[in-house]
Amino acid sequence: MKYVLSLGVLVLAGAVMMHAQTQKPAQSAAPRPVTSDRTTAAPRFTAAGELIRPTDFREWSFVTAGLGMTYNQPTSAARTPNFTNVWVNPSSHQAFVKTGQWPDKTMLILEIRASSSEGSINKGGHFQTNLVVIEAAVKDEARFPGKWAYFDFGRDMKPQVQALPVTERCYACHSENGAVDNTFVQFYPTLLEVAERMGTLRPSYTSTPAAH
């Protein structure tokens, strides 16, 4: 009698194991989409209206670099040129590629770095070195009367700053000389091609250098 019971228990256990093995594993929950500030990177402000300096802007869309550029008549004194690097938030870059125009909440970051011509194996030309300053331009039609505002995080890289006063020269310079919507797209070669194709260049813009 005990033998029959033991055999029955073994048969039942085997059936349970076979049933478990034939069942499909439960589907795991679909992974939640990961959101990243890098995707949209809209400008963020404090309650006091200060622009918060983004920390991941070097992961944004890179649009241009310059070496030794100046919008003033250069002096005869030799100087070591600085590099200028420009990034724009990815969503605005994508919109510009499609339309040739900057959407609201566009943010461009200007990083200025010093340069050197001697170092490691380099025998000529210049390469970028230490960070000098970070500046920003933001388009926010509801926040700024002129749609655009400009920010200087200073040599001490402040985490947040107020917009520069509208009396600063940068406002008039961008308004008068920007190839597209107050921005110097004339120095962004891949985006200049887009603006030319889309016909969004400022009518008075000219690529001919002004006479000195």
pLDDT in tens, 131-170: 999 999 999 999 999 999 999 999 899 999 999 999 999 9
Farthest-apart Cα atoms in the chain, separation: 114
CA distances from 20 to 10, 12, 28 (A): 15, 13, 17
Q: Domains in the chain, start-ordered, CATH in brackets?
A: 36-70+80-198 (3.50.70.20)
Which secondary structure element, helix H or strand E, spans residue 203, and what is its range? none
pLDDT bin (cut points 50, 70, 90) of residue 25 is very low
Q: How far is CA 5 from CA 1, 16, 49, 65, 89, in A?
A: 6, 17, 80, 84, 73
What is the pLDDT, as a whole number, of residue 40? Answer: 60
- Secondary structure (DSSP) of 48-65: TSPEEPPS-GGGSEEEEE
What per-residue confidence (pLDDT) applies to 2? Answer: 46
Question: Are 137 and 174 within 8 A, CB to CB?
Answer: yes
Give residue 18's pLDDT band: very low, low, confident or very high (50, 70, 90): very low
Residue listed under structure tokens 């070496």: 67
